[in-house]
Structure 1
Amino acid sequence: MKKATLVLGASLKEDRYSNIVIHRLKEKNQNVFAFGMQEGTIAGVPVDVQLKKYSNIDTVTLYLNPMRQEALYGYIIDLQPRRVIFNPGTENDVFAKLLQEKGIECEVACTLVLLATQQY
């Protein structure tokens, strides 16, 4: 099965970066899952409002501020992604240290820029 990206903090609002990144990932034929506060669909991707045990998650890209991330530390670590991307405004040194201790790569970067520059 193809590895996937999980967008945490997905917004149904079309002007939000989390929404735009889902569109861009789908344009690049990436397998995408999304979790947000409001149920709906973005670019054909259902936005889950309940945390699920996804499998084959390669990348978790965060669109949640550090305070909201705290409740998800264990959940994200249990997914065993290869990497977690801290998008602008989501930087979290405490969580990054925990992830690195578990062998999970951390990147402080903009997923949209990574996609646009072929670095994703």
Structure 2
Amino acid sequence: MNEKLTLIVGATTNRSRYAYFAASRLVGAGVPFVPIGIKSGEVLGKQIIDLRAKPHLDNIHTITLYVGTANQSEWIDYLISLNPKRIIFNPGTENPVFFQKAKAQGIEVLEACTLVMLSTNQY
């Protein structure tokens, strides 16, 4: 249905975390996702990719952030280098520096909630 391949940054196996909810809702909406973070494990059958390796990933449409502002600085340039169409700054991840750097590269930036966007068909 939807080919907006989404990179979930801050993916976790913890079912009570918003990043996990997002993965579940993306699956329900038919949106493919790639989990990436510093924790290992599986999210809904997909292995979490180690963010520290800064792997090359193709065709990322959307990056949805679940990493707090204080822990983003070393990942900003890497995430921008993936050339996503948009980055969603979920509540608690807002970062004016990252926001401006991404915008300067022509990336759509949203201070929004992935879960709300999915539940209101605005994703």
Please indicate, yes or no, whether the TM-score normalized by the shorter chain is above 0.5. yes
Indicate yes or no: 2:120 matched with 1:102: no
Indicate yes or no: 2:70 matched with 1:70: no
Unpaired segments ≥5 residues, structure 2:
none
Q: Which moved more, 1:44-53 or 1:27-36?
A: 44-53
- CA deviations 1:19-71 (Å, max 9, x no partner) are 01001111112111011222111112211124321100000000011121110
Aligned residue pairs, count: 119
Mapped contact 1:35–1:51 kept (Cα < 8 A): no
Q: Which moved more, 1:107-116 or 1:24-33?
A: 24-33
Indicate yes or no: 2:34 matched with 1:33: yes
Whole-angstrom CA distance in 2 between matches of 1:51 and 1:28: 27
Normalised TM-score (structure 1): 0.94
Say which structure is richer in strand: 1
Give the alignment of 1:35-50 within 5 angstroms: 35-49=36-50, 50=53
Unpaired segments ≥5 residues, structure 1:
none
Instruction: Report the counterpart of residue 85 of structure 1 in structure 2.
Output: 88
- CA deviations 1:72-110 (Å, max 9, x no partner) are 111111100000000000000111011111100100000
User: What is the percentage of aligned positions where both structures have the same residue?
Assistant: 39
Provide the secondary structure at the position in 2 that maps to 1:57.
coil
CA-based RMSD: 1.1
Q: Which ranges of 4 or more aligned residues in structure 1 deviate by more than 2 Å?
A: none
